Amino acid sequence: MSGRVLVTGGAGFIGSHVADLFVRQGWSVAVLDDLSRGKRENVNPAATLHVLDIRSPDAAALLERQAFDVVVHLAAQMDVRRSVADPAFDASVNVLGTLNLLEALRRSGTAGHTRVVFSSTGGAVYGDLATPPNGETTPKDPDSPYAVAKLAVEHYLSYYARIHGISTVSVRYANVYGPRQDPHGEAGVVAIFCGRILAGEPLTVFGDGQQTRDYVHVGDVADATYRAASVNLDEALHLDDRAFNVGTGIATSVLDLATTLLDAAGVSVPIEFAPKRPGEQQQSFLAVGKAARVLGWSPRISLANGLADTYRWFATRETAAVPSRT
């Protein structure tokens, strides 16, 4: 299958990898990004970049005018701490911005032909009350305004699917890491650790370092997102019907992450312990059997290989940033 896809947030970390994959699969790719965090250099040269805010009338007009076969919606305020500090801003981008796009699709008259794939969060939407691994139907008790907004959008998508016939899918990402990642994201620790190793500085681990996350490489995430966009799916009636966890199903402690990254980098810097951070989620990993069954997707990149790939990327960038001596 190929066609016309719009990737919102396509100049960002995950979005740029998703856009690259669609280009490789022969799709005509448009990217919509306001470049607030994304970078022009991340955008695939074969894609058309529209520098627009998802809340703007121009963004709505783009969706209303052009009958995209697929809209992969990744543009977001993605900083959990910022959402706590300013929930209204978070909701204005993550909820109202998304509604601006969905309403444009509804008005377009071609909504029935469009598949919308939305990047939700498996790392945050289930909250800390559930005992992992969390499956798609695990009760949702989001612990941050960011996660509340993601869940609200999932409900809106369910509504647009049932009432307006838009084909919607939510991919609930675990903690995504890889080249081009930003230290502020949900797996920002990998970027932070890479920066520290390259600077020869110690890695700081909070508490006893036994808190776990499900770290999934961005290459695997792009693949899952592509499948979510292109696989035939049953009709959606309930919230979780068209939701897919995208993770590895493996719980990795921060301490294990640090030692695996140091091994991958082949470098030694000390690991320092700092006091536990109040409110930090302790255990989080996802059940990923549904994506395997329905999307035919399973993660293929091991943590050791994925971290090595990520470290190499940061190291190359660092070298490129050092002015040459003449």
Ligand X SMILES: NC(=O)c1ccc[n+]([C@@H]2O[C@H](COP(=O)([O-])OP(=O)(O)OC[C@H]3O[C@@H](n4cnc5c(N)ncnc54)[C@H](O)[C@@H]3O)[C@@H](O)[C@H]2O)c1
Note whether 318 and 265 are within 8 A (CB).
Answer: no
Strand pairing class (203-206; 271-274): parallel
Using CB under 6 A, pick the residue from 108, 114, 121, 138 that binds ligand X: 121
Distance CA 24, CA 223 (A): 12
Using CB under 6 A, pick the residue from 7, 31, 37, 151 that binds ligand X: 37
- Residues constituting the chain: 326
Residue 53 is classified by DSSP as: -
β-sheet bridge partners, residue 213: 252
Using CB under 6 A, pick the residue from 5, 7, 12, 116 that binds ligand X: 12
Single-letter residue type at 76: A
11 touches ligand X by CB under 6 A: yes
- Look-up: residue for tokens 């016939």? 165
* Interactions with ligand X, residue window 163-182 (CB under 6 A): 173, 175-176, 182
Residue 299: CB minimum distance to ligand X, A: 14
Strand pairing class (243-246; 167-173): parallel
Considering the complex, state which of residue 38 and residue 142 has its C-beta at the smaller distance from ligand X: 38
97 touches ligand X by CB under 6 A: yes
Residue 32: CB minimum distance to ligand X, A: 6
Considering the complex, state which of residue 166 and residue 172 has its C-beta at the smaller distance from ligand X: 172
310 touches ligand X by CB under 6 A: no
Burial class of residue 182 (count of CB atoms within 10 Å of its CB; 0-12, 13-18, 19+): middle
Residue 297: CB minimum distance to ligand X, A: 16
Three-state SS at 173: strand
If one counts every other C-beta atom within 10 angstroms of the C-beta of residue 119, the result is 26
Note whether 97 and 141 are within 8 A (CB).
Answer: no
Residue 323: CB minimum distance to ligand X, A: 27
Note whether 249 and 287 are within 8 A (CB).
Answer: yes
- Look-up: residue for tokens 């009709």? 235
84 touches ligand X by CB under 6 A: no
127 touches ligand X by CB under 6 A: no
64 touches ligand X by CB under 6 A: no
Single-letter residue type at 218: V
Q: Which of 126, 146, 177, 226 is catalytic?
A: 146
Considering the complex, state which of residue 65 and residue 325 has its C-beta at the smaller distance from ligand X: 65
Using CB under 6 A, pick the residue from 19, 76, 157, 264 that binds ligand X: 76
34 touches ligand X by CB under 6 A: yes
Active site residue 311: no
Q: Which residues bind ligand X (CB under 6 A)?
A: 9, 11-15, 33-38, 53-55, 74-78, 93, 97, 119, 121, 123, 173, 175-176, 182, 185-187
Q: Which residues are catalytic?
A: 146
